[in-house]
Structure 1
Amino acid sequence: MDVLLLSLIAWLNLYTEYDTRVELPNIVITDQANMCRQYGIHDKGTCEATNLRGFYNKKLTIYLNADFDRNDAVDQSRLMHELVHFIQWHNGSDKGACWGQLEVEAYTLQDEWGTQHDLSQTTDPFKLIMLDAACDV
């Protein structure tokens, strides 16, 4: 897993202005129910509705769903998304920034990485607009 993390962080070093000289995050691969509990969602129905596949908890830990396959490019792109949040946090970008803008950046970088790795799956542009618009409130 360290080799994958280092390669994704190296990519972020090339394609962002962030300081990527960081200690590698802990990776916890677990079931969705545990991820939801760690995220603060305790209702089973809400948990299932979120389709939570991963998150970064701002404590050096990235949680990924139990079916994560480090050899699968789609799963690697999900890890990239969470690594963006990890790097944002370590660079202080989360301070004073709107959560929606941080999400837009993470999805945009995830999509850019995915395009370079022949993934056709991209984030719905409407979702990005809504995340960004939430910051204007």
Structure 2
Amino acid sequence: MTQRHFAGAAAAFAVLLTLILPAAGFENTGVPDPDPAWRDAGSLDDLAAVLDDWLDANSDYPRNPAPLAIEIADPITIAMNPSVASSFGTRTRGLYDHEAGRIYLIAPWSRKDALDVSVLLHELVHHRQVARHWYCPAAQEPDAYTLQQAWLAERGLEADIDRVTIVLAAGCTPRDIHPD
């Protein structure tokens, strides 16, 4: 085999690996997925069931028996929804409306993308957290982000999370503390 043929074969093999590894339970990191069942979920409800099983094994939050609806929504619809609009920001990928028992996943969102799936897991944590008392909604975030990051870490991935902002917001202190 000539060097040119070898280089072509190596390039073809690399392309083949990028197609085969994700289907075999590997992300682009090359780390094997310890539980690739989420990839085979046929619906959002099936995917939520797989993630709930993971949360059962990896968190102290019990399942919430209340009904849960999950929908993929466009950002404009979410921004106009008064029950969740105050929580919606430019980087928001998902929201949990505890009054409606509904998770909104912000489009574009794909159940085949581990980072997007981790957003659903994060919101499922919030669905489980409603049974506890919280001084403010932001106090729930550190646990949800920690579990989200743990799920991603098992797959060799990491979310872009600003821990300092999360911890400060979780303190539930007023944002404007200047005296009059």
TM-score band (shorter)?
0.7 to 0.9
Q: Which structure features the higher share of helix residues?
A: 1
Secondary structure of the equivalent of 2:112? coil
Q: Deviations over 1:15-52 (max 9, x none)?
A: 112221635521111110111222135xxxxx6x5332
Partner of 2:113: 72
Partner of 2:143: 105
2:100 equivalent to 1:55: no
Secondary structure of the equivalent of 2:172? helix
Secondary structure of the equivalent of 1:135? coil
Partner of 2:153: 115
Partner of 1:40: 85
Q: What one-letter code is carried by the residue in structure 2 that aligns with 1:2?
A: D
> What's the RMSD between the two structures over aligned residues?
2.0
Query: Which segments of 5 or more consecutive residues in structure 1 lack a partner in the other structure?
Result: 42-46
Secondary structure of the equivalent of 2:139? helix
Identity of paired residues, percent?
31
Return the offset for 1:121.
2.4
2:71 equivalent to 1:28: yes
Return the offset for 1:87.
0.8
2:125 equivalent to 1:88: no
How high is the TM-score relative to the length of structure 1?
Answer: 0.80
CA distance in 1, matches of 2:139, 2:101: 21
CA distance in 2, matches of 1:124, 1:51: 12
Q: What one-letter code is carried by the residue in structure 1 that aligns with 2:76?
A: A
Q: What one-letter code is carried by the residue in structure 1 that aligns with 2:165?
A: K
Return the offset for 1:77.
0.6
Query: Which segments of 5 or more consecutive residues in structure 2 lack a partner in the other structure?
Result: 1-43, 175-180
In the alignment, is the contact (CA less than 8 A) between 1:35 and 1:54 conserved in 2? no
Q: How many equivalent residue pairs? A: 127
Indicate how the Cα distance of structure 1 residues 123 and 52 shifts in structure 2: closer, same or farther if over 3 A, else same.
Answer: closer
